[in-house]
Amino acid sequence: MGHLPATDATAEGSTGATTPPAITRRFDLRRVYTAVILVPVIYVVIRYFPPWALTLLLIAGGSIALTELYRISFHPRPNRALIGVGLAASALIAARHHLLSPAFPELLAVSGLALIIALLCSSTPMERRLKDAGITAFGVLYVGYTLSTLASTRSLPAGEFFVCFVALVTWAADTGAYYAGTLWGTHLLAPSISPQKTIEGVFGGLALGMGASLLARVWFLPQLSLLDAVILGLLLTGSGLLGDLCESAIKRRVGVKDSGGILPGHGGMLDRLDSLLFTAPTFYYYITYVRGISLPP
């Protein structure tokens, strides 16, 4: 969110002084092509299919994102048993509201037991086992649990419109940040975490995210008050930025640019879902605890 445009190499004059890098404004059209293909499909699933269809889509996308996270995080080679446990636990948690016993603690306990068994069966040194276990558990919560809140949102009354609202505001904030940062970005936001995110991009994301929130209220979600729309516009833009920075910190830590290459112009699935992993729970807890909208009995 809020990317600084690509720059040319810094030039040095005869006196040894450096000149500011020249900014090359470049848009990746593959981002547009990918969105044109995926957005209508996702909209149809959200709007016209039953809630379990979205859950299956989230499990599929979340499994790809989680596999990418484990692939870049496990060193020197991935622990396949722990990856399997992580993927299974993530899928169970994402589908918890469709199970006979949707209670989160029970699913967490079963996942923890499977994790312990996988650790006991491993032949790697104990220090490595504990590190791998931490990565596995983090991935389940980071991807599986956060996406489960989007499945829970879809199960609410008028849930299809709530999910469309989250997706629209998240996408708008990401898009505003990307293009504002590319066109006008000069002031780095967090260079130690991401060298391409800019303050100008943040304001661009906030403007478009807020506009999308207000438009969605008028267009298809009159259940929200004007104050709700303003608050959610701020909350989702801010939480989306945190999600973007969190994934950037992970990639910075392991030394990779993208989590994968499955989505042309966007990188990996985790690169595409990073903001949604934070906006989904933010919206769900606001709408259930602040607005008091709950799952049907």
Higher pLDDT, 63 or 75: 63
C-alpha 269 chain-centroid distance: 9
Torsional sign, CA 115, 120, 124, 127: positive
- Stretch 70-99: mean pLDDT: 84
Comparing 48-57, 134-143, 259-268, the range with the smallest average pLDDT is 259-268
Q: Quote the tokens at residue 4.
A: 């600084």
Is pLDDT above 50 for 10? Answer: no
Beta bridge partners of 267: 263
What ranges do the domains of the chain cover? 29-290
Confidence grade of residue 26 (pLDDT, cut at 50, 70, 90) = low
Per-residue model confidence as pLDDT tens digits over 164-180: 999 999 999 999 998 88
Q: CB-based contacts of 291: which residues, under 8 Å, 6+ apart?
A: 228
Q: Is 234 exposed, middle or buried (0-12, 13-18, 19+ CB in 10 A)?
A: middle
Higher pLDDT, 205 or 267: 205
Per-residue model confidence as pLDDT tens digits over 91-112: 988 888 877 555 666 667 777 7
Neighbour count for residue 172 (Cβ, 10 Å) = 24
Q: Give the pLDDT confidence score for residue 294 in this predicted structure.
A: 77
Q: CB-based contacts of 74: which residues, under 8 Å, 6+ apart?
A: 82, 83, 132, 135
Is pLDDT above 50 for 23? Answer: no
Distance separating alpha carbons of residues 55 and 116, to the nearest angstrom: 27
Confidence grade of residue 17 (pLDDT, cut at 50, 70, 90) = very low
Distance separating alpha carbons of residues 221 and 195, to the nearest angstrom: 37
Answer yes or no: are the C-beta atoms of 104 and 30 closer than 8 Å.
no
Q: Give the three-state DSSP class for 2.
A: coil
Q: Give the pLDDT confidence score for residue 187 in this predicted structure.
A: 86
Is pLDDT above 60 for 250? Answer: yes
